[in-house]
Each structure stands twice: as C-alpha cells, then as structure tokens.
Structure 1
Amino acid sequence: MWVKPSEILVTGFWSTDRANPYFALQRRRGHDEEHGGFTSLFVATIDSVLDSKTNRYRILHQRPDSEVYHLIAEADTKEEIEEHWSWIEENLLPTLGGIEAGVDVTDYVQCKIKSLCAQVDEAEIDDFESDKFKNATKKFHKLFNVPIDEKLVTYYSCSYWRGRVPRQGWLYLSVNYLCFYSYLLGKDITIVLKFTDITSLERLQAYVSETIRIGTRFHVHDFSMFRNIDETYQMMEQLANFAAKKLLSEKGAFREEDFFPAVTKKTAPKAISQLKRDLDAKTRSELYQCRFRLPATERLDGEVACHLHTSYNRSNVSGKLYISLNFVCFASRVYHQVNLIIPFRDIVAIKKQSDDVILPDIDTQSTIIITIKEQAGKFLFLNFVDREFVYEKLLNILSQYEEVKPADVDISEITLSPPLYLQFNSNYTEERLTREKERETLWNMHFTTYGRGSTMYRTNELYELIFQGIPDSLRNELWLIFSGAIHDKAANPNIYHKLVQQSSLVKTYHDSTNDEIERDLYRALPDQKAFQNESGISALRRLLRAYACHNTDVGYCQAMNIIGGVLLLYMNEEDAFWTLAALCERLLPDYYNTKVVGALIDQ
C-alpha cells in the first residue's frame, strides 16, 4: 500500500531486488529466499520473536544527488508491491526525466504519493480494525490451517515449553481455535487446537513463572511468560465456555452472532479487535447479572465509584453504582456490607438535591437522590467524580423508559392456583406454628429497618436471617425477589396466562412432551396431600406445560416436576412459573435440560 513519504535509515536487514535512478524495490531478508545465509536467518528470527509486523517488501525514493531515502510504499506480498512498481514505471519515471532540479523531483514524487494515500484513505473509510490487528489477522490465516471465515479475537506473546526449553512465540485465540507459532533459528513450531478438543484448562506454578496448562486427550501444552496472565486465562476460559455451549446446544439453538456481533462504525475499536472488546463487555455484563440476579438480557452500561447514604444507620458506604437500561444497582466495596437494586420501573424522580432531605455533614452539591414509588422512599448517592455526567445519564434513561404493555389475553378465563400449603396445612403442629410466628416477627422487624420489596437494603443481617429460615407466609414474596424472578415477571405481564392458553391448544409437536409430563405428575411429591388432590395436580400440569411451551429448546426433563411441586406449595402459580424459569435458565444453567450437563459435571 502507498504510505505518506517519510525519511528512513537504510540497514542491512533489506536487500534490493530492483532499482532505477529514482526508486528501489527492496525485500526483507529471511523472507521468500530459497537459500539464505546467517543474516537472513537472524532477521527472520528477530521478526518472529518480536512480532514487529514489518512488511516484507517496500519501495524507496532516492535522488542520485542525495543520500536521503524516503519510504513511499510497502506490502506483505510480492504481487502487491510489483503492482506499485509498475505504476511508478508507467506514470512517474517518464515525467521525472524532464525535471532538472533535484529538489523539484522529490517534491513532485511526494505530492503524487500523498495524493494516492488520500485516495486510499477515502476508499477504506469503512475499514475499522487497526492496522496492527489486520496484519495479525492476515498472519493468523497464513500460518494456520483454519477456515477462511474464522474470526481472530486476540493474540498474546508468550513462551511454549517443549521439554525444558522455552520457545518464544505468539498465541492466537479465535472463536473456535487456540493456535501457537514460534520461529527460532530456522526451526518453527505450529500448534492448532480446537476449543472443543480441550479437556482441561488450569493455572499452575511451574518452570520460571506462572503457567497455563492446556490438556487434550493425547497431549499437554504449557504456556508461560505472559505479560498479563489473568487476562489471557480469562479469555481462554470464556472462549472454551462458548465452544462448550455451542457443542451442547440443540441444533440451531446456539447463535454465534449473539456472542460475536458484526463490526459497525459506531462500535469500531481503536487498537484491538472488535470481538475482544465485545467479549470483555459481555464478561462485565454477566458478572453484573449474576451479582444482582438480573435478567440474562440486561447489559451493563457503565459503573462509577460513589457513596451510598444508608438511612438505617445514618452512615456513608463506599462502593460502586452500576447503571443499565432497566436498573440502577449499588454494591459496597466490602462484600455483602450493603447491596441495592432499584428498577427504573419503580423510580418516580431523580434529583440533584431535595429540600425535604436535610442531613448534616453531607455536601448537597455532590448528591443524587432517587425517589421510588413505594412509600415515596428515597436513596441518596454522593461523592461522584463527575456528578453531572451520571445525573444526565440517569435522567436520559428514565425519560426513555417505557412501561411494558401486558400481553393481549383474557385472564378471566384462567383460574390460577394460590400457594397450595394454604389449603393443605392441617398437619402443622403447635410447635411449628409457634416457630413460624417467631420467624415472621423477626422478618417484619427487619423490613421496618431495611425496607421491603426488591428495593430493600441487602445487608449481612439479611443473609443471617435467611440462614435462620424463611417463614412459609413469606416464601412466595422472598423467593421471587431473591431469585430475580420478580424482574422477569414484571417484564412479561400476563405472559404466563398466555402460555397456559397456548399449551392447552398446542398439539402434535408437544404431544411427546405432554406425555412425559403426564407420567411424572403423580411422582412429583407423593407424600404431600396437595399432590394427592386434583387441584394440585392440575396446577402442576399447567405449570410444566407452560414452561415447555416457553422454553422449547429444553421442553421438559426429569426432576422439573419435583422443583415445580415444591414451588407450588409455597407460591402462587404465576410466581412459581417465573421462579422455575429463573432456576432452570440462570441460577442452575444446564441442570434441567435433556442432557443434564451441569449435574454430570458436578458429580
């Protein structure tokens, strides 16, 4: 490609293949040579170890009366550089012969080359990847026998241990492959592993530094001397997990574009691959979802350090504020000291300061106050580095937030079951009833201090109370909140009623699933009176059929009847459905499906 003319120093690392009075075509030593000497071998080794990304060919401009060289073109292939050389011979040389002054010759050449560079820049305006990464991608496809459409994610410098001798080289990570290449003193090593062939991935202290050991059925490979081993290991682990999901998913269920979207102008990277940046963002979003039990579709927009003023003890807690399209969350720096989840659906107003909130020792110029619907509760955040930016961001999301419209279904035609224990609790002893009342009292005292519902302060005291046991009367409410199912239910109003209708009408495709459900209905909890009665059996049938209709990839598998039965004992039918979905899809993924991979791994 043409490059803007720049002065360079000529070294012995290059040999001249062609020359005329004004230009020279040079080739990098150690490349495309049938018989090279020690210099060629040395240069090729340096290029491989340092990965200098130097192109193999270049064209220099030099006047006969000057010792200054200008680089005007470079290329990685012989065909491309010869095309540039032919253009010079046809378009520049005839004109240069008629120019008398040497300085004018150089000015004319530079003007022409800069014009060509401008045309190339305009033609490649949609080329997003950095030159460094594009060169790495070309090298990746040239070195390794992988499909032409394989997407490179990132690459790292490291050492590969063969016996007791380290071989410095480059580790390439793509969507489906882990590859390594090393070239030292005329000898090269090439390793190509599919992520689906990897049986073990671990970090251990070996050799002279921490090492990543990769095992397959037949070989073990050790890589070390990474600049950032944490990042490398996390990336390997993430790509291996994606490969496993793709392998274990039903045919057509795994969509690669969900994990590796196409590059656009808006998301173009500066110096790394789009896939690498997207994977990093996805990892942060998954940690965010897991920490606060949020829906799998929630994407983290950003996080910022701040303090939360806790009204229950009038103190300021240091932590981070997390913002996404549907939630504002806070997590303290000290683990489990206090967590907070505020859905945008519950927010009434966001202000910088409030006249009715007067607190000593707090600079109101640094605060943001969020008011929610429930009892006009207020949450006060302070000590932002850039309060204006955070405030405008929150206001913008709140202004665009729209309430979800309920599904169009006649809910009057469907009668759902309340918690079954309310009808079948005649076997409760006096001792158990007393214990239940004591627990209810403790929980009500906690609600008075820390709040109630999804926006309660989640502190160490809460987790201690959970370990002591949740009373039957509060299990519906608290299971729904702590599983995160409350957010799925709020985002899908009346969907369960619609699924119940659909599952009762669907035939043919779901016939085999319905047959499995019918066989397992009476095996769910045979010792419970609720499931010796037709009302309990009918509720369980509706629940399992609706879930099979909701999640067609899984449908129904064994043990769902037991989980569904337990949920129906203490939850109303709709809440039990969303809690079952949260368990199967987020809290215990791969446990309740046709392959029960999660359970097999844990065994």
Structure 2
Amino acid sequence: MPEEEKLVNYYSCSYWKGKVPRQGWVYLSINHLCFYSFLMGREAKLVIRWVDITQLEKNATLLFPDMIKVSTRSSEHFFSVFLNISETFKLMEQLANIAMRQLLDNEGFEQDRSLPKLKKKSPKKVSALKRDLDARAKSERYRALFRLPKDEKLDGHTDCTLWTPFNKMHILGQMFVSTNYICFTSKEENLCSLIIPLREVTIVEKADSSSVLPSPLSISTKNRMTFLFANLKDRDFLVQRISDFLQQTTSKIYLDKNISGSYISSDDEVFTRSSSLISASPHKSLSSESEGERQFNLNDNGIPTATQALMTMYRRRSPEEFNPKLAKEFLKEQAWKIHFAEYGQGVCMYRTEKTRDLVLKGIPESMRGELWLLFSGRF
C-alpha cells in the first residue's frame, strides 16, 4: 500500500475462498478494500480497488442470513459473519461512491475544508477519519434534500415540532442548522418542509415554556412570517449556534453592500456629469413637453360621462378572452394566489403536498420565473 493511503475502519468477518471460509479482518481504506487472514499456517490476502468494484450487494442465504457480495469485472467475492453488517455495508457504499466521483472529476477527490485535514507525520485515528466521512455524507444528504448550494455544510440537526398555522397542528420532524440556512422536514413524508435562509431572519428568541409547549423557539423573518418550534432538547446551545451564524451572515451582507456601494457611487458620478451636460444644452427639455401632453390629455378625459361608465361595465370582450388556454392560465394563477395566502409566499413558505400537486398541475406563465427560482434551489 502507498504511504499516503488512509485507513478508515476495519471489521471482523469471514471471506469465502472457494468453499472454505477464512476468518479474518476486512480493512476499508480510502482507495482499497482489503482482507487478511492467517489461520492454521495458511495466509489469505485480498486487495480490491474501489474503482474496480461494479456492484455491492447485501444478500441473505439459509446458511448465512447476512452476507456481502462484492463484484468486479472479473470475479465475485463473498464476506459473512459480521458483528454489524449494516455499518460495514454503509461504509463500503460510501467509499465506493467517493471512488466513482474521483474517476468522474479530473481534479480528484477534494476533502471538505471544514473537516480537519491529515498531517503527514501524525497519522489520524480510524474513528476520527470515519467521523469526518460520516459528516461529509450527512452534508451531501442535507443539500440534496433541500436543494441547497454545493458549499453548504451541515452543522447539526435535532428532533423538534413545528406549529403549522394552516392546519393548526404541531408536526413532528427534524430541524437542520447549517452555515446559511435553517431547514425543517416532517417525519411523515411530504407533510411539511421549510427552508429559511439566515439572511431573511430578523429575530430568534426563546419563548416561554409550558406543559403543552416545552422549550419553544420563535424565528421571525423579513416578510413578517413567524415560525414556532418546540420540544427542542438543547435549546440554549441551538440558539447560540444560530446567533453565531447570524452574526457571520450579517457581516457578509454588510461587506457585500460596501463593495457594491463603491460601484454604485462611481456610477452615480457618471450619471450626474451626464445630467449636468444635458441641463446645460440650449435645447428644450423633453420633460416639459411630456408634462404638457399629459396635462392636455387630462383636460380631454378629465370629465367622466355616462357613456364611459357604461363602456367600462358592459365593454365588448375580445375573442382572445374566450380562449380556453387563457382561462386555464387564469385558474392556475388564482390557485397559486390562494395557496400563497394560506401557506406564505417566497423562500420561507410552508412547502406541503399541496404545493407539490400545484407544481405538477402546471405553473402559470406570469409566475414561472419566480416559482422556477424558488423550487429549483436558485434562491
């Protein structure tokens, strides 16, 4: 093995070489799956690269209810008698997926910057490296679940309940906190989910606890929506973490405003110079002409008549208004407006099964830009 190879974990198991099982240890590293056994003076070694594996299966037979089958292009290997087969198989899948990404990405496997890096002279403990890989996998699942940016890192999650005003219930689920977002998803699939960017948060405060609502937490946003979470195990620590992330987000926004403000000020100088040149020209300004025309039009149509009132009430409709496509678009718009009034509008809206059904029925053309950005993760 090369010196830079990193061992993740190892497990006791049996490797079936022919019809005879060999009891030993399977070693899982970043790039290889290895097995070693030495019993009764016989040695058995196996080294397989993750990139050579074509399939991983967890099978069950009458003789061995738990068995892992590792398939390559040229052979098949069977492992059994695991103390914890679920953990072993999960780690195998994770390492195989990392190897596949390394093949697809020319730059190779890049570790998360937020995770501690290995030093050459001080080898890392197996449990610590496995913990880092688990953290990476959790962040990937978190980003995929809520369609978040690729650089978003999950800080932690906890069980809680969310008060939903549209059905007046406390929904059991999980709250996820990351660098730039607070998210929630219900235990029951597609019941309710939330995505709250920290840039939209204005107030995070602890509400009064009661027997009905223990350890509540209130989060308010800029669009005047308030979310009430409860049954939080470590509320004080959670509030502190959210406050730290809010402070970082506020400083980023302030820095971006200063940078953009410098560009805007330079543009304003150019605009003031050009406007001064226009005002100094001897020609008559266009604004006075437009004001005169506007005044003339007001004098013409300023006095209402009975004919105008009748025309507005009993106006002739164009043939386009009887188009079934336009009528269908109108019904879609009304359905979305009713949905927004009940579940909120914008990034922080309550996303329920009704939201999914409305998307499947079709998005109206007038709202396509807003809703596409909202549900595609480009918020």
TM more than 0.5:
yes
| 1:456 equivalent among 328, 346, 349 | 349
Distance in structure 1 (CA, Å) of the matches to 2:370 and 2:83: 49
Per-residue deviation, residues 408-442 of structure 1 (Å, max 9, x unmatched): 67898xxxxxxxxxxxxxx9991111111111111
Mapped contact 2:26–2:35 kept (Cα < 8 A): yes
Per-residue deviation, residues 260-305 of structure 1 (Å, max 9, x unmatched): 85248xxx98x74332111000111111111111111111111111
Partner of 1:335: 189
The code of the aligned residue for 1:455 comes to C
CA shift in 2, pair 1:378/1:398, >3 Å: same
| 2:10 equivalent among 155, 160, 175 | 155
Report the CA distance between 1:190 and its aligned residue.
0.1
Mapped contact 1:345–1:403 kept (Cα < 8 A): no
| 2:337 equivalent among 434, 444, 453 | 444
1:395 matches 2:288 = no
Partner of 1:230: 86
The code of the aligned residue for 1:313 comes to N
The code of the aligned residue for 2:146 comes to F
Q: How many residues align?
A: 315
Mapped contact 1:323–1:329 kept (Cα < 8 A): yes
Partner of 1:88: none
CA shift in 2, pair 1:361/1:472, >3 Å: farther
| 1:473 equivalent among 366, 369, 372 | 366
Per-residue deviation, residues 100-158 of structure 1 (Å, max 9, x unmatched): xxxxxxxxxxxxxxxxxxxxxxxxxxxxxxxxxxxxxxxxxxxxxx1122111111111
Partner of 1:172: 27
Higher relative contact order (CA 8 A, sep 6+): 2
Per-residue deviation, residues 394-414 of structure 1 (Å, max 9, x unmatched): 2222223234416767898xx
Alignment of 1:509-528 (within 5 A): none
Report the CA distance between 1:249 and its aligned residue.
2.1
The code of the aligned residue for 2:132 comes to D
Partner of 2:58: 203
CA shift in 2, pair 1:428/1:183, >3 Å: farther
Mapped contact 2:332–2:364 kept (Cα < 8 A): yes
Distance in structure 1 (CA, Å) of the matches to 2:128 and 2:64: 33
| 2:221 equivalent among 367, 372, 395 | 372
Partner of 2:150: 296
Partner of 1:348: 202
1:312 matches 2:166 = yes
Distance in structure 2 (CA, Å) of the matches to 1:429 and 1:188: 84
Report the CA distance between 1:199 and its aligned residue.
1.8
Report the CA distance between 1:343 and its aligned residue.
0.6
SS at match of 1:199: strand
Mapped contact 1:325–1:397 kept (Cα < 8 A): yes
CA shift in 2, pair 1:361/1:177, >3 Å: closer
Per-residue deviation, residues 556-580 of structure 1 (Å, max 9, x unmatched): xxxxxxxxxxxxxxxxxxxxxxxxx
Alignment of 1:107-126 (within 5 A): none
SS at match of 1:209: coil
The code of the aligned residue for 2:222 comes to K
Partner of 2:232: 384
Larger Rg: 1
Report the CA distance between 1:306 and its aligned residue.
1.0
Report the CA distance between 1:473 and its aligned residue.
1.5
Distance in structure 2 (CA, Å) of the matches to 1:261 and 1:360: 41
> Any stretches of 5+ residues in structure 2 without a counterpart?
268-319
Distance in structure 1 (CA, Å) of the matches to 2:2 and 2:237: 45
SS at match of 1:400: helix
The code of the aligned residue for 1:244 comes to M
Per-residue deviation, residues 452-503 of structure 1 (Å, max 9, x unmatched): 11111111111111111111122211111111111xxxxxxxxxxxxxxxxx
| 1:192 equivalent among 32, 47, 61 | 47
SS at match of 1:485: coil
Report the CA distance between 1:254 and its aligned residue.
2.5
Report the CA distance between 1:307 and its aligned residue.
0.7
RMSD, aligned CA: 2.6
Alignment of 1:526-545 (within 5 A): none
The code of the aligned residue for 2:329 comes to E
SS at match of 1:226: coil
Per-residue deviation, residues 29-79 of structure 1 (Å, max 9, x unmatched): xxxxxxxxxxxxxxxxxxxxxxxxxxxxxxxxxxxxxxxxxxxxxxxxxxx
